[in-house]
Structure 1
Amino acid sequence: MMVNNINCSTFTLFLEIFILILLAFHGTCSLNSSSRRVLSLPGFHGSLPFKLHTGYIGVGKGEEVQLFYYFIESEQHPETDPLMLWLTGGPGCTSLSAIFFEHIGPLSFNYTGISFNRTTATWETDLPALQLNPNAWTKFASILFLESPVGTGFSYATSAEFYSTTDIIASKQIYKFLQKWFTEHPHFAKNPLYVGGSSACGLIVPFITQEIVNGNDDGTGLQLNIKGYVLGSPLTELNGSATTARIDFAHRVSLISDDFYEATKSSCGGPHWNVSNADCTKNLNEGSKVFDLLFPEHILEPKCNVSSPIIWCRKNYNLIIDNWANNIQVREALHVRKGTVGHWTRCNATLKARSYNMTLTSSISYHQNLTNKSIRALIYDGDQDLQITYVGTLTWIDKLNLQISDYWRPWFVNGKVVGYVTKFSNSHYDLTYTTVKGAGHCASEFYPHESSTMLRRWFACKPL
């Protein structure tokens, strides 16, 4: 009996300790319940040599919108390095585009194995191999890749009605997401914070940055250590100025002749450009015949023809990423919730066409508001991009009425000219604008090393 009593007492004590451990473990997990570490990925040999976490954070009154994210810690000094929220354009294009194709993340696809099936007229590929990217921005910064707006990538809503949204609503949800993410990850709260994005995100990144600044100033939100914002090939205005900028750009890069340019400028009332009259429209249509032969995101390439077995097409990459992200093992490795997203596509065309309402027609006023704050901005364009031209970007930057502190000059990597840079500033605000020579839309896709060097220098407040 004595032995039995001792055994029962020992067992009871062990059980109580075990329950306490479980409760403590549960409490620890609940503080960071949205984030799960990804140790390996299909297509990559061995364990990932960097820290990748994925997760969901619910926003909205009842957390009806579940935003999916990838968080990759800096491989250098994650405790002090900059932390950047990165958004992909579209709207509705996945963050995996930035990670894999824009070479911002630590992995890229190995493109061997892709072939054209002449019978079905489709491109075929097995699950591609993954390889390390030596030019990853995560070498020197932690990056939080967010799938927004809802319906993008693996983000989803709990019912159909919540897929209908606007850019203002989605931007406020992103701000709420940041508040909750930093609450769950307080050890990153002191890191310098930047908001970045490409293409269509040019309309919302300044708005989100202003939301953060306002929240800090009025004390309505968690204090975030916001230092600036980064924009690549930014869409800034939804009006005719982009068309006129394309004509000026096309002339500068010799896509159209001097005679045609002067005739078009005359018929369209240049230099202020009135594109509403018939002669102007006729000339613009003639010019578009030249443009139609070229890939608008990179005019040094022919227009994409995805069914051609001969002409290489950059959009063939979509097939590779679609195969990868729709693979069951990949979704399990990324901790994607089962049953939340059906067939995955790189860019959600339905969202862009039907459920996402673009009400921000210009972000210039938000840039102007931020010029009154102690904020830094980096704006960059590929100089072979017809979609968002560097001519158009310089035109709207001029509207900010900033002083030039460093005049237009070349910048170099390994002794070669890789672009041209100029700096604008006032007593509070600092804007660095640069081109990346030979690059197209989203410059890091075309020149990853030069783009990575650009950002590394800018983060360190060094001249490009």
Structure 2
Amino acid sequence: MIGRILLPLCFFFSIGLTAQQLVLAAAASSSKVVTTLPGFDGLLPFHLETGYVEVDEVNGAELFYYFVRSEAGGEDAPFLLWLTGGDHCSVLSGLALEIGPFQFVIEPYNGTVPSLQLNPYSWTKVANILFVDAPVGAGFSFSRKPEGYNVGDVSASLQLHELLIKWFTDHPAFLANHLYIGGDSYAGKIVPFIAQKISEGVEAGRSPHLNLKGYLVGNPATGEIIDYSAAVPYAHGVGIISDQLYETIGGHCHGEDYKYPTNALCAQALDTYKSLLSEVRWGQILLDNCGGFTSTGPGREMDDSAGAGRKILSEEKDGAETVKRLRNPPPSPTLDCQTYGIYLSYFWANDQGTRDALGIKDGTLEEWVRCHNGDVPYTADIRSSIKYHRNVTANGYRALVYSGDHDAMVPHLGTQAWVRSLGFPIVDDWRAWHLQGQSAGFTITYSNNMTFATIKGAGHTAPEFEPERCFAMFSRWILNQQL
């Protein structure tokens, strides 16, 4: 059972939930069709719906979602639930920085709402995608009572299952569509567990019947020590650490030592390893460390800008206008830094026009942050997701596991190792897969319908760095075509 952690009232006031607003915030699920967005010229050329689904009636916890109908035709297109890692990172990252239909125009922030443009490699070109801010407390999701924020891997997964049941009940036209569950990074722990719970519901005849066909995970965490230990041979293989250091670590560090060293020689060697690894960018080892944002690794991800708690907005008088500004804005990277889009996301998501367009409930959130820095309670009670991968694929469901080959946070070496450990025979041996006549990565498929693929040049997470290759991989796989 997940331990109960009570938050101080100052946390709820800091995110905008006054005592009166805690009572007044509407409990019922709600939705709206969004036809325009701040920063985008004209009407949206895709169907966007946003809304809330209540997943904890006792505490009034509601998850916020963005639903984008497939541009290929929602009647027959596959349906994908998409989750962002974290554990408390907003799914706006997936929507606007990875696989969604719009993205930020990378230009210097000038104090107005950032501009948007269409993403030519949006996965919504071939699939309906339901993006969900999860768990409660991520993005625009909220709870009216403090206890509603006290969740973990298992309870958050069950809430997402409940969200799907309620969402499809309200949108029965999509029940027949092939359903897939997807996510990246820390969500790699959550996705196969949700898939198993859905499959159990299917077997039990739960209504409505969810037409589950499989799942996909990118740069996925498992909860196993391999998420950490695989980074050492990866760093050695790409020339970040020396032969001598690699051998020292291998000789003195074993099992959980990679997270919690139990002897002095292991601890000293790992300190040297971490110091050398800090010279490159963990999420993409070929790119410069250009500042502004970082991640903690395969566990909790965060931005440097997240701070110890949620920052608040202030109103400043600018002539006759009252302008809402971030009191402590995130540090600004240089314009050529890959993280500049993350920087812009803070100003877009915290613009009142954006809140109004998306239908964010008044009083539920004072300031949006991309990722929390451990200031919201969360219990990592799925110690390992590997058994769920085995269970779900053994029952005939399809699976795609993919890794950026320049990711030092959750290296492909560890992912390959646990995929192989499932013990299923190979049906399509290791080979290159291609885009425009060139290798785009390498892939292997097993008899349990699990495909593992690397994306050449990609990091953590893969679509941020190689959107065209990732779109080709996803569209082929989701449409049952050979990679």
TM over 0.5: yes
SS of the residue 1:128 aligns to: coil
CA distance in 1, matches of 2:180, 2:30: 22
Residue of structure 2 aligned with 1:409, choices 424, 431, 436 = 431
Name the aligned partner's letter for residue 230 of structure 2: A
TM-superposed CA distance for 1:391, in Å, is 0.6
CA distance in 2, matches of 1:107, 1:312: 20
Structure 1 residue 432 corresponds to structure 2 residue 451:
yes
SS of the residue 2:454 aligns to: strand
Report if aligned partners of 1:203, 1:235 keep a CA contact under 8 Å in 2.
yes
Alignment-derived partner of residue 306 in structure 2: none
TM-superposed CA distance for 1:438, in Å, is 1.0
CA distance in 2, matches of 1:260, 1:381: 26
Report if aligned partners of 1:72, 1:143 keep a CA contact under 8 Å in 2.
yes
For residues 231-268 of structure 1, give each alpha carbon's deviation from its aligned partner in whole angstroms, at most 9, with x where no partner exists. Answer: 011110243x2332111111221222334323432344
Report if aligned partners of 1:215, 1:222 keep a CA contact under 8 Å in 2.
no
Structure 1 residue 217 corresponds to structure 2 residue 217:
no
CA distance in 1, matches of 2:467, 2:274: 30
Alignment-derived partner of residue 456 in structure 1: 475
Residue of structure 1 aligned with 2:105, choices 104, 107, 110 = 110
TM-superposed CA distance for 1:422, in Å, is 0.6
Residue of structure 2 aligned with 1:280, choices 241, 258, 266 = 266
CA distance in 2, matches of 1:396, 1:221: 34
Structure 1 residue 180 corresponds to structure 2 residue 166:
yes
CA distance in 1, matches of 2:112, 2:224: 40
Residue of structure 2 aligned with 1:367, choices 371, 389, 414 = 389
CA distance in 1, matches of 2:207, 2:234: 43
Change (3 A) 1:336 1:282: same
Alignment-derived partner of residue 6 in structure 1: none
Residue of structure 1 aligned with 2:243, choices 258, 269, 279 = 258
CA distance in 2, matches of 1:62, 1:258: 56
CA distance in 2, matches of 1:244, 1:250: 10
> Which shifted more, 167-176 or 54-63?
54-63
Report if aligned partners of 1:198, 1:231 keep a CA contact under 8 Å in 2.
yes
Name the aligned partner's letter for residue 412 of structure 2: Y
Change (3 A) 1:237 1:35: same
Runs of 4+ in 1 over 6 A off after TM superposition: 308-311
TM-superposed CA distance for 1:397, in Å, is 1.1
CA distance in 1, matches of 2:356, 2:334: 36
Report if aligned partners of 2:215, 2:400 keep a CA contact under 8 Å in 1.
yes
SS of the residue 1:293 aligns to: coil
TM-superposed CA distance for 1:67, in Å, is 0.9
Name the aligned partner's letter for residue 101 of structure 2: P
Structure having the higher Rg? 1
Residue of structure 1 aligned with 2:70, choices 68, 74, 89 = 74
User: Structure 2, unaligned stretches of length 5 or more?
Assistant: 1-27, 293-330
Alignment-derived partner of residue 301 in structure 1: 287
User: Structure 1, unaligned stretches of length 5 or more?
Assistant: 1-31, 115-123
CA distance in 2, matches of 1:59, 1:309: 37
CA distance in 1, matches of 2:35, 2:88: 27
Change (3 A) 1:175 1:279: same
Alignment-derived partner of residue 232 in structure 2: 247
Q: Which has the higher helix share?
A: 1
Residue of structure 2 aligned with 1:83, choices 79, 85, 92 = 79
TM-superposed CA distance for 1:314, in Å, is 3.6
Report if aligned partners of 2:182, 2:216 keep a CA contact under 8 Å in 1.
yes
Name the aligned partner's letter for residue 405 of structure 1: V
Name the aligned partner's letter for residue 200 of structure 1: Y
Alignment-derived partner of residue 100 in structure 1: 96
For residues 391-448 of structure 1, give each alpha carbon's deviation from its aligned partner in whole angstroms, at most 9, with x where no partner exists. Answer: 11011112211111111111110011111101112xxx31000011111001010010
For residues 361-405 of structure 1, give each alpha carbon's deviation from its aligned partner in whole angstroms, at most 9, with x where no partner exists. Answer: 110111121132120000101011111000110111122111111
Change (3 A) 1:438 1:223: same
Alignment-derived partner of residue 202 in structure 1: 188
Report if aligned partners of 1:113, 1:128 keep a CA contact under 8 Å in 2.
no
Trace 1:18-417 onto structure 2 (pairs within 5 A): 34-62=30-58, 64-102=60-98, 104-114=99-109, 125-239=111-225, 241-268=226-253, 276-306=262-292, 313-349=337-373, 352-417=374-439
Change (3 A) 1:217 1:269: closer
SS of the residue 1:384 aligns to: coil
Report if aligned partners of 1:125, 1:320 keep a CA contact under 8 Å in 2.
no
Identity %: 41
CA distance in 2, matches of 1:230, 1:56: 24
Change (3 A) 1:311 1:105: closer
For residues 155-183 of structure 1, give each alpha carbon's deviation from its aligned partner in whole angstroms, at most 9, with x where no partner exists. Answer: 11111221111111111010010000000
Change (3 A) 1:328 1:195: same
Report if aligned partners of 2:66, 2:130 keep a CA contact under 8 Å in 1.
yes
For residues 295-352 of structure 1, give each alpha carbon's deviation from its aligned partner in whole angstroms, at most 9, with x where no partner exists. Answer: 1111112334236876954444333111001101111111111111111111122xx4
For residues 26-54 of structure 1, give each alpha carbon's deviation from its aligned partner in whole angstroms, at most 9, with x where no partner exists. Answer: xxxxxx97221100001111000110000
Alignment-derived partner of residue 118 in structure 1: none
CA distance in 2, matches of 1:309, 1:190: 45
Report if aligned partners of 1:305, 1:311 keep a CA contact under 8 Å in 2.
no
For residues 202-259 of structure 1, give each alpha carbon's deviation from its aligned partner in whole angstroms, at most 9, with x where no partner exists. Answer: 11111100010001101234210000001011110243x2332111111221222334
SS of the residue 2:52 aligns to: strand
Report if aligned partners of 1:379, 1:433 keep a CA contact under 8 Å in 2.
yes
